[in-house]
Structure 1
Amino acid sequence: MLGALLLEANHIVSTEHLIDAVWDEDPPSSARSQVQICISALRRLLTFLPVEAEIVRRSPGYQLSITPEDLDAYCFESLVQEAGNLAQAEDVLGAAEMLREALSLWRGPALSGVASQVLESKALRLDESRLTAHETCIDLELELGRHHELIGELTDLVQRNPLRERLRGQLMTALYRSGRQAEALDVYRAGRAHLIEELGLEPGEELRQLESAILAGDESLLLDSPAHVTATAASASVPEQPAAVLSVAPHQLPTDIPDFTGHRSLIETAESFLRGKDAEAVRIVVISGKAGVGKSSLAVHIAHRLSDEFPNGELYRDVRGSQPQTVPPADTLGTFLRSLGIPGPAVPSSVEERTATYRSMLANTQTLVMLEDVESEAQVVPLLPGSAGCAVIITSRTRLTGLPGALQLPVDVMDQEQSLELIGKVIGPDRVAAEPVAAAELTQVVGGLPLALRIVAARLAARPHWSLASMVGRLADERHRLDELAHGEMVVRKSLSLTYESMDERTRRLLRLLSVAESVTIPCWFAAVLLNDDAYRSMDRLEQLVDDQMLDVAGVDAGGDPRYKFHGLIRVFTRERLHENEDEPTRLTVLGRVTGAWLHIAEEAHRRLHGGDYTLLHGSAPRWKLPGHHLDRLLESPLDWLERERGNLCAAVMQAAEHGLDEACWDLAVTLVSLFETRSYFEDWQHTHGKALIATRSAGNLRGMSALMCSLGSMHLNQRRPSLARPLLESALAQFRELGDEHGTALASRNLGLLHYRQGELDRATELYRQALTGFRLHTDLVGEAHVLANMAQIELDLQQYAAAEDRLNRALEIVRETSSRRVEAQVLNKLCKTHLLSGDYERAEQVEGTVLRMVRDIGDIIGESYALQNLGIVYGRQRKFDTSERMLRQAVEVREGIMDHLGASQIRLDLAEILTVKGDTTEALAVAEKALAMFQERQAEQWSRRADEIVATLLDRG
């Protein structure tokens, strides 16, 4: 989120853009509240930076205000621009030094580690600017005669960017000027071999000219002027053969689509590129995308718009790359040569001769070539003209990244506005306007896929008596959705089947099995679990599915591994194939492995957070274990991993519950409380446990039911809902005792003890705490033991037994520090701060709570942060540091409001009202206290209402 704000610094960034940046196309229902929480956290972090920066609310989002000079990206661009000015003024030395200063600002790839498709393109543009500036800097330094010093740097750059011909030419020049002619030629030959082996292409004309000049020992290369070097190299090139004159001007493009809709930016980009009159090589545009996304329609539309730019005509061929029988290059070349006027008997027999003749025919012409449904670079390279006046438009379901200099245009599905426009053009805008809700639902159910949209629109156009709502109803059943998406020759299932059938069986099976799990996004290790296979081989198959456009890359995770996702209709298609090819026991076995993998990683995350399986019950569900080194990478920060995978983990609980995997679903649900409690995800807590409770009840799984009820009771305690917590905790305690589960009994006793404490029943609370303490000690549950000791100390604090409380808390602290549970350690320290506060030792209280605040912020414990801020506010108030106290308490209120804990925020407001009163701001104090009172009355919190009422009455009397 910080990256998104910084990339648009001093401009408003909408909340929707921030949500897209973080979650791409799958935001959770709580996305807006999470954005608010993150913004609050960023605001606090910015206060620690040595720059003037703040995030302010500006409708419809937020704006990060910062001095441009404090942004590296701004400084980099300014320095590059200034270097350009110096170079134009012929200050070569100054320009080179300025560019070196600009390059020194970089510390690695832009936005490294940020997994966001929305931000990826901007990061790539920054990286490209960096490399271009580096090349320009080296040109200037070569002109200054620094060729000796540049050889090492250039060698490294060429190795990291082997297809960058400008860098290779600079290295050849530096070596030649250093008297190393043979090595310069070796650099050229290595580059040529790499290009031929990888792409089947020869080096560009400029590099070939440079090689010729070095072979000839051209002394002009030793001069300092790069411009002179270029001219000299050009003069050493071999003269071109005269081109043949075309006897005909072919016009083979398919018919344009009159109601073509959308992709305006792609069209403008393609046209600008293809109109480039100063191009030094053939211009190539590669339009890629999944089946049905409209690649061909877009390509034909662009080609027709540019037909006037290519007076020598257009060649077109569908090479059928996605079908079993592809069209070989030799056949396409033969067709093209005949179209260009060569009689059939005169067409050469070999591919090489046909290619040479074809390129000779197109030399010095302006001809547009369109190749549809290309499978690979090898299928297209012989069909590329050699003349810079020509251009090629290619469509492919595979990303053809091996064509140097090609403009890559990945085509995505349409957004809602474009989708509605397309439907309206086919059936008439009046029908769309008459049913706006149903129209929007239609676009969503087909995921904006243009082929599906055209089919839906065509069926509606053919049946004017159908309502749009009726079409939505026909598409609602996922099992028959693809049956509905067929009209005449337009069939979504057929289009997807072509790609599916072209894969090998192992890859097809992986694609089918990927639809087993209801995952938001798919991590790279998923394939190994599905296939029960080696992780690396399986990951290669995922990448093959991406290349085949049956799977999309959703981003990159924190460890640098890619994540994947399905388009909705492709998921429907793969589920059809799943049910056709895999029986129910197999599907259930695979789902069990998937759930077992999530459970294995989640419980390991809990262990690393707390130092063991403390305060947690486990069941007997089988685990699918990832290799240790892979687990270490994933769980470098366990809580962050749980946060990133929250959507998938919750989905795994739901799916396990729906398919009767009761042991796995309750175990995973209670394990996730490590995340839910720390980050206040109460909706997820409630939803996962509710589903798991239904599954365990249905299976008669008493232990699972008890664990879930105990956990739900704890959730209600966190939310200050004792009336909901009590029956759950009492039922769990009784059931655990009946089962003889002493660990479960200890957990339920601890939670029930806290409930009785909050209701003022100290004797009953103490009794339950002692029972819990015995059970935790019996099971060596250190965190549980420390937690209960801290709760017992709280009772002693209430009874003003400060020495006893401090002694008990110190014992709890010793125990919890044997684990990794920093959250519980912070909770114990919180109570220790209260002990010092009540005994009048404000200095020690401040020291302890300052430590707590750093700890909870470090681990991302939002609730813990609010408590720490509140306690510090009270401590500073006792020290008569009223301004600091007010600031801390206001921050605590903001944190509580950010997690929707309005009751907790109102409790802190009472402390704030007291500080404001002492400062003499009674008007503000009264407003704060009255706001708190209204919340207490709304929630029927009688004890807090009485306290608030007393404060309000006192302030009114003063007024």
Structure 2
Amino acid sequence: MSLASDEGLIFKLLGTIEVVGSIEQISMPPRRQRTVLSALLLEANRVVGMDQLIDAVWEHTPPSTARAQIQICVSALRREFKSAGVDAQIETRQPGYLLRVAADKIDVFLFERRVAISDLAVRQGRPEEAATVLRSALALWRGPALSGAGATLQNKALRLDEKRLSALENCVEIELSLGRHHALVDELQSMVTENPLRERPRGHLMLALYRSGRQSEALEVYRAGRDLFIERLGLEPSDHLRRLETAILTDDKVLRLDQDGPALAAAHNVVSPHQLPATTSDFIGRQDVVARAENVLSGDHMTMHVVNIAGKAGIGKSALAVHVAHRVAADTYPDGQLYCDLRGTQAQPATPAEVLGRFLSALGAAGSALPDGVDERADMYRSMLANRRVLVVLDDAGSESQVHQLLPGSPTCGVIVTSRARLTGLAGSHLVEVDFMNSDDARELLGRIIGTQRLESEPVAAEALTEVVGGLPLALRIIGARLAARPHWSLASMVGRLADERHRLDELAHGDMVVRASLSLTYDGLGPDARRVMRLMSLLETESLPVWTATALTDDPRHGFDLVERLVDAQLLDVVGNDVTGLPRYRFHDLIRLYAKEQLAAHEAPATQLASVERVAGGWLSMAEQAHQRLYGGDFTLLHGQGRRWQPHAPYVDQVLQDPMGWLESERANLCAAVLQAADAGLDELCWDLAMTLVTLFETRSCFDDWQHTHERALDAVREAGNTRGTAALLCSLGSLHHSQRRMDASRAALEPALELFTELGDTHGLALTRRNLGLLEYNEGRPEVSRQIFEESLAGFKRVGDVIGQAHVVSHLAQLSLDRGEHELAFSQLGDALGMCREVSSPRVEAQVLYRLGGAMLAQGRYERAQQLITSVLTMVQRSGDTVGESYALHSLGLIHGRMRMFAEAGRLLRRAIRLCEENLDRFGAARIQLDLAQLVSQRGDTFYAIAIVEQATTTFHELRLTLWESKALAVLQKITAENSLSAAGASNGGTA
């Protein structure tokens, strides 16, 4: 293709977007379609993700149909290409699309190729050819780039327009050296008018006017520019422009044309440093952060671009910085790249004066010319980089102050800074945070080091290796290097070596790569108080921690939060979300926690560690108690021990406990961990008390595994400590758990010893709770009179200790016994009493339970509408509080009511919802119980075979749970359905013969 021609171009983006096919030119497509096409063309022959296309079209507010609309645009473009004879294809490639076309068919790529050819001609001393090629490149432009593509591609359009302006400036500079100053004056005057704040074309115009014998006009161009710079920017012109003015005033011979040839050559032979280290050959993943960094560094050059790559020790910041630098260097920063390791985390970090000296030498400044002062060096550095396109990479910065004087002043330069802290104090910087590798990328990295065949031969061990180091690239490289050096080691053997947490950091070392050493640099840079917080926080091994725990660990309410935030700033602690107050929640990476534990063992006495654990466990207990009180209207139906409480800040507690059940659920992992840790620490009073208090949560959300695990561990602790009351309380609660799961023998085996222990202690409250649970057990095993007697004894105990809600519970159960005997008036009276007790102390959870039983009484009397109203209100109450067990009961009852009202379709829907909820709650008994009612409903509607199948399923459950009474009930339902079916069949037969 001739350099002066654009024949054969298919895609034109340098102006109004045009597509030219061999058959016809495509008419301008709709704007959304143009934007998709432009985005694909700018990344021609590379995959463009669906998310990138969506962002290009809608930016931050895409509609729900965004993906479908992008697909429609692509389909339309494919049709247009085919009908117009466009020699290009749009291929579907995960995670988006790829536009395949020859690069010389796109004017953008042709322009960049010609600019590169021109640069080569200049370096090789062929200025006339360079100017000719640049003019042919500029001829490709027909107006502002990407016209009509939509506002979302504006940054890319501005970047292209900037490249055009830079190419024009270079072209003019070359042509000035060739003596074409007369022909350039008009063009340069237009350039200065269009871009009045750009110094380079203004200097070119001054030189062209001077060489054309128009000295006074050249000086006026300078003065007008100076006034404009001061007015608009508050700045004087650059040293270069001031020196040019002086040379024009003094008629300096350096400006003469016969001097320009060597001057131009010298200008193009200025030292261009290329200090970047080699990029990592096995660089893996990070596509999102690479793209973000590239987008910033390749943007328009109205201001200098600074990217701060921040992350933990060993996360791969340096490798990422070098990788990005190599990707943008050639096209965006062709005048060179500077690199320095600032050693910001080491004992002796590099000083700005030291780094500036190295950079100035690399830029060609003679050693004798280097100023002594750091400010003078910084001035000289900025002057040497003025109007040059140089990329500066500053690795391992310790602080903003170490970096400030190393930033170029020119908007044509770019800077990448890596640091463990987030350097948000750098004006105009863009923070790019690096996270841990995902499992796929981690496996790929390991495979590249040790070989994919070896990795694939032990897939389970490979997965374990990536998990044990949590996706930390430094640790993965160490593992890979050790395995690569020992081909006789299996991956499983390496997993075994890393299994012991006490020695894991010892294993993560190979040559100069040492995880412990990397972490110690950051740790040693902290103040003593922050190091202590880090050590103590390693005591708490949970998913995430609220900020008050740090305050409790240190017993320092004033400074706890600030100290934790210093750990976050140093990338030693992660923020993983916020609680309802907006305050952050924190978590350690596993390897950082191990390092902190090593420091804990070395620097904190066992008594200090115990006191810290006790305060945190006391804080959890204090808050759990208050949550229970808000749900039950007071400290009812609960036994407490003598463990020491620790009170978090009262306004914080009030805010998080506005939804007490929601808070208990959100902190379930931490609360359970606190029980276990208190047990391990020998804090028996705290551990049994907290375990008992959490039953409020366990019971409501069917957290049976947590209930059992916490109680059994706490039971071991209290028995080891000889704590009789704690033992009795936990046995009583375990009895309730077993009863909830319909393990009746296990329930009795726990409750009877609890009754004996409380009797020995003379503990009235404990006896009342245990008898209530025993009464329920007797009732469900079919002994109502025994149950009534035990309930009466329990009620008397609750009255003696003033436990109003305990009384309401028992009275409600006595009401059920009255209903079973047909004593409806007595039952309603008892339920009214129970409801009054709940409302007296404002206990919405137990009030809902009493109302549920009252609705059942209305149903038994045939008062369906009133029953429906009551149970609907119960459903609203339990759904509002998140009581999923209560919700399953309410749905069951509503299903029965709708069945009695002959609203069969709605009844079936409600019963099935109740069964699903029971199954989600792991309540097999509840699901089977509702299945019996569903089966009878289904049978009523004529589907006998389905009804029988439902009953058989429920019978199997009752049998597996060893619930013989309910097995008998299921058998009775089965017989009833079968009998009704036989009668129906006989009736049909008789009707047929009549």
Q: TM (normalized to structure 1)?
A: 0.74
TM-superposed CA distance for 1:77, in Å, is 11
Aligned mates of 1:820, 1:660 — CA distance in 2: 37
Please say if residues 519 and 652 of structure 1, whose CA atoms lie closer than 8 Å, have aligned partners that are also in contact. no
The within-5 A match list for 1:573-584 is 573-584=595-606
CA distance 1:207–1:949, shift in 2 (3 Å): farther
Amino acid across the alignment from 1:531: T
Aligned mates of 1:242, 1:351 — CA distance in 2: 21
Aligned mates of 2:591, 2:755 — CA distance in 1: 47
CA distance 1:611–1:73, shift in 2 (3 Å): farther
Please say if residues 336 and 390 of structure 2, whose CA atoms lie closer than 8 Å, have aligned partners that are also in contact. yes
1:848-881 deviation line (CA, Å, top 9, x unaligned):
1111111111111111111111111111222222
Please say if residues 359 and 387 of structure 1, whose CA atoms lie closer than 8 Å, have aligned partners that are also in contact. yes
The within-5 A match list for 1:247-646 is 247-276=270-299, 278-309=300-331, 310-535=333-558, 537-646=559-668
The within-5 A match list for 1:803-818 is 803-818=825-840
Match of 1:827 among 828, 849, 853: 849
Q: What residue is the counterpart of 1:35 in the other structure?
A: none
Aligned mates of 2:339, 2:678 — CA distance in 1: 51
Runs of 4+ in 1 over 4 A off after TM superposition: 72-78, 206-209, 230-241, 243-246
Please say if residues 870 and 888 of structure 1, whose CA atoms lie closer than 8 Å, have aligned partners that are also in contact. yes
Match of 1:915 among 930, 937, 944: 937
CA distance 1:396–1:77, shift in 2 (3 Å): farther
Q: Say how many residue pairs are matched.
A: 741
CA distance 1:767–1:495, shift in 2 (3 Å): same
Aligned mates of 1:462, 1:75 — CA distance in 2: 53
Amino acid across the alignment from 1:490: M
TM-superposed CA distance for 1:411, in Å, is 0.8
Aligned mates of 1:636, 1:344 — CA distance in 2: 69
Please say if residues 518 and 655 of structure 1, whose CA atoms lie closer than 8 Å, have aligned partners that are also in contact. no
* Higher mean C-alpha deviation, range 507-516 or range 517-526: 517-526
* Higher mean C-alpha deviation, range 710-719 or range 744-753: 710-719
What secondary structure sits across from 2:240 in the alignment? coil
Q: What residue is the counterpart of 1:849 in the other structure?
A: 871
1:510-539 deviation line (CA, Å, top 9, x unaligned):
11010112232111111111111124x210
Match of 1:875 among 884, 897, 900: 897
TM-superposed CA distance for 1:565, in Å, is 0.3
Aligned mates of 1:304, 1:751 — CA distance in 2: 72
1:131-188 deviation line (CA, Å, top 9, x unaligned):
xxxxxxxxxxxxxxxxxxxxxxxxxxxxxxxxxxx9xxxxxxxxxxxxxxxxxxxxxx
Amino acid across the alignment from 2:659: S
TM-superposed CA distance for 1:918, in Å, is 2.7
Aligned mates of 1:399, 1:724 — CA distance in 2: 56
Match of 1:711 among 718, 722, 733: 733
TM-superposed CA distance for 1:272, in Å, is 3.2
Match of 1:952 among 947, 970, 974: 974
What secondary structure sits across from 1:372 in the alignment? strand
1:814-838 deviation line (CA, Å, top 9, x unaligned):
1111223212111111111111111
The within-5 A match list for 1:176-191 is none
TM-superposed CA distance for 1:453, in Å, is 1.0
Aligned mates of 1:335, 1:231 — CA distance in 2: 32
TM-superposed CA distance for 1:73, in Å, is 5.4
* Higher mean C-alpha deviation, range 292-301 or range 786-795: 292-301
Q: What residue is the counterpart of 1:677 in the other structure?
A: 699
Structure with the bigger RCO (C-alpha within 8 Å, sep 6+) is 1
TM-superposed CA distance for 1:675, in Å, is 0.6
Aligned mates of 1:879, 1:434 — CA distance in 2: 65
1:178-217 deviation line (CA, Å, top 9, x unaligned):
xxxxxxxxxxxxxxxxxxxxxxxxxxxx9999xxxxxxxx
What secondary structure sits across from 1:448 in the alignment? coil
1:355-374 deviation line (CA, Å, top 9, x unaligned):
22211211111111000111
What secondary structure sits across from 1:625 in the alignment? coil
TM-superposed CA distance for 1:782, in Å, is 0.7
What secondary structure sits across from 1:242 in the alignment? helix
1:652-683 deviation line (CA, Å, top 9, x unaligned):
11111112111111111000011111111111
TM-superposed CA distance for 1:623, in Å, is 1.0
1:697 is the counterpart of 2:729? no
TM-superposed CA distance for 1:789, in Å, is 0.2
Aligned mates of 2:61, 2:477 — CA distance in 1: 43
Please say if residues 776 and 782 of structure 1, whose CA atoms lie closer than 8 Å, have aligned partners that are also in contact. yes
1:229-274 deviation line (CA, Å, top 9, x unaligned):
x999879986554389573111111232222222122223322332
Which consecutive unaligned segments of at least 5 residues does structure 1 have?
1-71, 82-165, 167-205, 210-229
What secondary structure sits across from 1:818 in the alignment? helix
What secondary structure sits across from 1:893 in the alignment? helix
* Higher mean C-alpha deviation, range 346-355 or range 238-247: 238-247
Amino acid across the alignment from 1:461: A
What secondary structure sits across from 2:489 in the alignment? coil
Please say if residues 518 and 652 of structure 1, whose CA atoms lie closer than 8 Å, have aligned partners that are also in contact. no
Q: TM (normalized to structure 2)?
A: 0.72
What secondary structure sits across from 1:543 in the alignment? helix
Please say if residues 311 and 366 of structure 1, whose CA atoms lie closer than 8 Å, have aligned partners that are also in contact. yes
1:62-107 deviation line (CA, Å, top 9, x unaligned):
xxxxxxxxxx9557999xx9xxxxxxxxxxxxxxxxxxxxxxxxxx
1:893 is the counterpart of 2:915? yes
CA distance 1:797–1:207, shift in 2 (3 Å): farther
Identity over aligned pairs, percent: 50
RMSD: 2.5
Please say if residues 702 and 923 of structure 2, whose CA atoms lie closer than 8 Å, have aligned partners that are also in contact. no
Please say if residues 889 and 912 of structure 1, whose CA atoms lie closer than 8 Å, have aligned partners that are also in contact. yes
TM-superposed CA distance for 1:431, in Å, is 1.6
CA distance 1:231–1:506, shift in 2 (3 Å): closer
Aligned mates of 1:349, 1:849 — CA distance in 2: 86
What secondary structure sits across from 2:841 in the alignment? coil
1:759-798 deviation line (CA, Å, top 9, x unaligned):
1111211111111111111111011000000011111111
CA distance 1:938–1:261, shift in 2 (3 Å): same
* Higher mean C-alpha deviation, range 526-535 or range 612-621: 526-535
Q: What residue is the counterpart of 2:786 in the other structure?
A: 764
Aligned mates of 1:534, 1:574 — CA distance in 2: 22
Amino acid across the alignment from 1:571: R
Which consecutive unaligned segments of at least 5 residues does structure 2 have?
1-59, 70-154, 156-194, 199-227, 244-266, 986-994
Please say if residues 230 and 236 of structure 2, whose CA atoms lie closer than 8 Å, have aligned partners that are also in contact. no
What secondary structure sits across from 2:416 in the alignment? strand
